[in-house]
Amino acid sequence: MKRNTRVNHPPTVNLPADNHALVAPIYQSVKFEFDTVSETARYMRGERAGYFYSRSSNPTLRQLELLLADLQGRADCLLTGSGVAAIAAALLALCKSGDHILAFVESYGPTRHLVQRLLGKYGVSHTLLSIEDRAGI
């Protein structure tokens, strides 16, 4: 390793087995690696647990997901980077081709965009209701 990149890859410091941190560490790494290419391939196929790239998950985020799930009495939780990402994840998980969504014109703009444009590409139809339509619901 070149000397000028050493600061990005400092020596590893391991705690002795009987010495524990009181607060979980914050993982600031963007990338994670496995010891072998075959273990990386197993991870990519979903055959083993682990972390690869922080945009999809990392141990710090996973700990927060598990904590939030536990506080809510749930088995699991999914953190997202924004409200729109949460809405998109929910809609994509729950909707399938042939489904129909009712939404209000006054809905959050990016949500309307997801319903009208993104889900339409997957065969999900929609109806946008106005304030006047609410009386008939």
Q: For residue 51, count other CB atoms closer than 10 A to its CB.
A: 19
Q: Is the pLDDT of residue 12 over 90?
A: no
pTM for the full model? 0.66
Around 56, how many Cα atoms within 13 Å sit in the side-chain half-sphere? 7
Q: Which of 1-10, 48-57, 127-136 has the highest mean pLDDT?
A: 48-57
CA distance 111 to 84: 7
pLDDT tens-digit series, residues 30-49 = 999 999 999 999 999 999 99
Q: Is the pLDDT of residue 95 over 60?
A: yes
Under 8 Å between Cβ of 58 and 51? yes
- Please give the DSSP secondary-structure letter assigned to residue 1: -
